[in-house]
């Protein structure tokens, strides 16, 4: 079995997948201090508030479009989205311009939590969730259309809406291939059954009738090159300098998702390589029409390089063997931001950064926001608020491990044609 197939089964299988299985989610909170991992929005509300500040700034720079939609990939419990909406509500023109929210989520239980949290948050400022198939131009003034999609592929490009895209800790869970270089070519790292991991050499009378222990799993190498090794590793200039025995992690799924994000933000379908010289008529038609554009943020752990040994699993906030207890731990790998940028640059969108989470949040006024929160809360809450905010920007933790990449459409207010606009804090 390939590692992408293994990850897909472990994370999204409806019967026993980590994110999709109802029994798994009922037995473990997954998110939070009592779960397997915790995310920045769950640590401090300031995280979502400052992301909202960034989007408000970009929306104002775009001329304050009247039709805004939000697309979030992997919304978790909806905490980040709700914190952003609460901040948007302080700007009446902004919150009234948001007409639709589109959420990419495969977990039925998470969808229930997201809907409940969204309904509660929207009701605080007089908004309510409309029926998903209601056209935007038929929405009541206080209605906001919310739709859930099982796959990013189902989310359309909307040139008539200014699109905000948020992908927080989404790419790290996408399937990866692992390849190892050999003298005679590349091999793919696979997952196989290890029949010898729990040998039974002697059967005792007391063991009769007992189920035999299930065999464990192990990593193996493909006996020769696979189609994926030829497509992703052998032909890439990035990996030619690697020596025999070295490995590389590559996520083709990340490429396709990043490319889609570029289409959402720009409002235009991307051209395939074979369409560069002679685009089909329908593509020409779509790309000739005006688009409101948009902006986006990708936040995840990783860096501007490829990784070789970042594939790992988390359970109860501890690193565990990815091959142990399939479906009961979170599988993840570092994100290659250079790879994402190359994918987005095949569209009409621009990228910025990435910046460290520390630099991004600090530049957007984290210290001032935390100061105001501390002063407006009870004395017994003040230290907790400060500790949570500090955790977001720890130099030896989330502050430097997490990177923030900005994305913008080609429709710019200040830059000359053909040049990217300067976007704060990515300057």
pLDDT in tens, 61-109: 999 999 999 999 999 999 999 999 999 999 999 999 999 999 999 888 8
Burial class (CB within 10 angstroms; exposed 0-12, middle 13-18, buried 19+) of 59: buried
pLDDT-derived band at 146 (thresholds 50, 70, 90) equals very high
- Global pTM exceeds 0.75: yes
Strand pairing report for 330-332 and 312-315:
antiparallel
In 3D space, the residue among 61, 77, 127, 125 whose CA is nearest the CA of residue 100 turns out to be: 127
Q: How do beta strands 294-303 and 335-336 pair?
A: parallel
Provide the pLDDT for residue 138.
Answer: 87
Domain 23-174+251-274+282-408 adopts which CATH fold? Rossmann fold (3.40.50)
Provide the mean pLDDT of the chain.
87
pLDDT for the residue numbered 280: 74
Average pLDDT over residues 44-55: 97
Instruction: Tell me the three state secondary structure of residue 216.
Output: strand
Q: How confident is the model at residue 199 (pLDDT cuts 50, 70, 90)?
A: very low
**pLDDT given at position 216:** 83
- The residue with greater pLDDT, 412 or 157, is 157
Q: Evaluate if residue 54 carries a pLDDT over 90.
A: yes
Tokens 């229930």, located at residue: 112
**Would you state the pLDDT for residue 21?**
61
Mean pLDDT confidence for 220-239: 93
* Position 34 pLDDT exceeds 80: no
Cβ-based neighbours of 121, under 8 Å, separated by 6 or more? 82, 85, 86
Per-range mean pLDDT, top range of 113-117, 139-143, 212-216, 318-322: 113-117
DSSP per-residue string spanning 121-175: HHHHTT-EEEPTT--GGG--TTEEEEEEESSGGGSPP-TTSEEEEEEES-GGGS-
Domain ranges of the chain: 23-174+251-274+282-408, 177-197+213-248
Alpha carbons 63 and 340: distance in angstroms, whole number: 28
The residues, ordered by sequence, that sit 6+ positions from 277 with a Cβ below 8 Å of its Cβ are none
Q: Say yes or no to pLDDT of 206 above 90.
A: no
CA separation for the pair 221, 189 (Å, rounded) = 5
Given a cut of 70, is residue 244 above it in pLDDT? yes
CB atoms within 10 A of CB 305: 12
pLDDT digits (tens, 9 = 90+) for 98-132: 999 999 998 888 899 999 999 999 999 989 998 88
Instruction: Specify the pLDDT at position 416.
Output: 55
Q: Look up residue 198 and give its two tokens.
A: 């729990």
SS3 readout for 290-337: CCCCEEEEEEEEEECCCCCCCCEEEECCEEECCCCCCCCCEEECCEEH
pLDDT in tens, 273-317: 666 667 777 767 777 778 999 999 999 999 999 999 999 998 877
Given this model, what pLDDT does residue 162 score? 97
Per-residue confidence at 208, pLDDT binned at 50, 70, 90? low
Inter-residue contact 366 to 46 (CB < 8 Å): yes
Of the candidate ranges 45-54, 220-229, 272-281, the one whose mean pLDDT is the lowest: 272-281
Tens of pLDDT, residue by residue over 385-401, are 999 999 999 999 999 99
What pLDDT score was predicted for residue 134?
84
The stretch 319-326 carries a mean pLDDT of 89
Q: Which residue has the higher pLDDT, 119 or 197?
A: 119
pLDDT at 28: 46
Q: What is the pLDDT of residue 422?
A: 83
Q: pLDDT tens-digit profile of 337-385?
A: 999 999 999 998 999 999 999 999 999 999 999 999 999 998 889 999 9
Q: Confidence band (pLDDT; 50, 70, 90) for 141?
A: confident
């Amino acid at each position: 079995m390939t590692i992408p197939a293994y990850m897909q089964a472990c994370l999204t299988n409806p019967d026993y997948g980590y994110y999709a299985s109802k029994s798994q989610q009922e037995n473990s909170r997954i998110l939070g201090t009592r779960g397997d991992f915790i995310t920045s929005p769950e640590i401090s509300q300031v995280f979502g508030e400052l992301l909202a500040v960034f989007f408000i700034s970009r929306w104002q720079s775009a001329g304050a479009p009247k039709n805004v939609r939000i697309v979030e990939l992997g919304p978790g419990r909806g905490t980040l989205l709700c914190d952003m909406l609460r901040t948007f509500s302080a700007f009446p023109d902004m919150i009234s311009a948001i007409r639709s929210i589109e959420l990419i989520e495969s977990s039925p239980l998470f969808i229930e939590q997201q809907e409940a949290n969204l309904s509660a948050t929207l009701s605080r400022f007089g908004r309510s969730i409309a029926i998903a198939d209601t056209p935007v131009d038929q929405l009541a003034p206080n209605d906001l259309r919310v739709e859930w999609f099982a796959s990013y592929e189902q989310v359309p490009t909307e040139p008539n809406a200014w699109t905000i895209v948020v992908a927080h800790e989404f790419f790290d869970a996408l399937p990866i291939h692992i390849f190892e270089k050999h003298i005679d070519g590349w091999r793919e790292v696979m997952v196989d059954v290890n029949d010898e991991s729990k040998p039974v050499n002697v059967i005792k009378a007391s063991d009769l009738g007992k189920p035999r222990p299930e065999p464990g799993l192990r990593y193996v190498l493909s006996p020769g090159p696979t189609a994926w090794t030829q497509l992703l590793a052998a032909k890439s200039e990035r990996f030619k300098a690697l020596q025999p025995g070295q490995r590389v992690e590559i996520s083709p799924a990340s490429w396709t998702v990043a490319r889609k994000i570029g289409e959402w933000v720009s409002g235009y379908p991307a051209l395939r390589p074979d369409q560069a010289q002679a685009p089909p008529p329908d593509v020409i038609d779509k790309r000739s029409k005006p688009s409101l554009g948009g902006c986006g943020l990708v936040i995840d752990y990783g860096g501007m390089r490829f990784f070789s040994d970042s594939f790992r699993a988390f359970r109860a906030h501890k690193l565990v063997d990815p091959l142990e207890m399939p479906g009961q731990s979170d599988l993840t790998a570092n994100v290659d931001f250079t790879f994402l940028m190359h994918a987005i640059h095949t569209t009409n969108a621009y990228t910025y950064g990435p910046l460290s989470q520390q630099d991004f949040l600090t530049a957007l006024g984290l210290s001032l926001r935390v100061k105001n929160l501390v002063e407006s809360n009870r004395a017994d809450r003040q230290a907790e608020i400060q500790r949570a905010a500090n955790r977001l920007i720890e130099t030896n933790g989330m502050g430097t491990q997490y990177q923030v990449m900005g994305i913008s459409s080609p429709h710019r207010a200040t830059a000359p044609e053909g040049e990217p606009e300067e976007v704060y804090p990515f300057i």
